[in-house]
Amino acid sequence: MIIGHLAVVGIAKLTFFERENLAVLAVASFGPDILDKPANILLGMPGRGMSHSLVVFAIVCILACIYWLRMTKNPRLLCAAIILWVSHLAGDFLQWRVLLWPFWGSLEPGPKFHFAEKLTSYYVEFRYPYQLWFEIICITVLLCIVFSKFFTGNALSYGSSQSLKSLLLKLAGKFSRESAQEKTF
Ligand SMILES: [Zn+2]
C-alpha cells in the first residue's frame, strides 16, 4: 500500500483532524516505512522490519507521550499520529512474525527496496490483492469526502452538520424536482 497511506492522511485531515499539522500526519502515516526503508536500502535490513513491529510502535508512543507532556502540545495531534501509525501497520497486512518481533523470532533480510519494482508488483502484477483492495477502499472514501466538500463546502468534519448524507439528500431533491418538471411538460 503506497498511495493508500497518503489517502489515509487525506481522510484524517479532511475529517477528524482538520486543524492538525499535515506534515506530522504524513510522517506518522509513513512512519514505519520512513524508518525501515532507508535501513533496507543502506544496510540490507528487512523492508518491513522492526519499525513495523508493535514493540517499536510502543516505544515511539512512549517517547511521543513524554515529549508531548513536557511541551504541553495539543493532545489531538498526538492522538492523530498514533492512529495514523496504527493505520500503516493495518494497511500493510503484516505477518505475525513482523508484528510481534522479536517475540516471534528474528527477521530475515529482504530484497533491496526498489520503488519502480514495488509499484509494478502492486499495480501491474497484483501481487498484494488484499492491500490493493484496502487501498482502493481508502481512495474511494477520500474521493467521497472531497466530492462532499466540493458540493457542500464542508467535509465530513467532526461535529459538522453538513455531510455526505446532506449531499445525497440535495442530489435526491434535485433529481425529484427535475422529474416533476419533466412530468409537467
Ligand atoms: Zn510499511
- Reported as a single tens digit per residue, the pLDDT across 146-169 is 998 888 766 555 544 455 556 556
Grid cell for residue 36: 525501515
Q: How far is the CA of 13 from the centre of ligand 1 (A)?
A: 20
Local structure of residue 104 (DSSP, 8 states): T
Q: How far is the CA of 33 from the centre of ligand 1 (A)?
A: 5
pLDDT at 176: 60
Q: How far is the CA of 52 from the centre of ligand 1 (A)?
A: 7
Cβ neighbours, 10 Å, residue 94: 18
Mean pLDDT of the 1-22 span: 92
User: pLDDT tens digit string along 29-56?
Assistant: 999 999 999 988 888 888 889 999 999 9
Grid cell for residue 33: 516505512
Per-residue confidence band for 28, with pLDDT thresholds at 50, 70 and 90: very high
Q: How far is the CA of 51 from the centre of ligand 1 (A)?
A: 9
pLDDT at 161: 45
Q: How far is the CA of 147 from the centre of ligand 1 (A)?
A: 28
Mean pLDDT: which of 17-31, 95-109, 168-182 is highest?
17-31
Q: How far is the CA of 77 from the centre of ligand 1 (A)?
A: 21
Handedness of CA 35, 138, 95, 108 (dihedral sign): negative
Say what the pTM is.
Answer: 0.76
pLDDT at 171: 54
Q: How far is the CA of 85 from the centre of ligand 1 (A)?
A: 10
Residue labelled with grid coordinates 483492495: 133
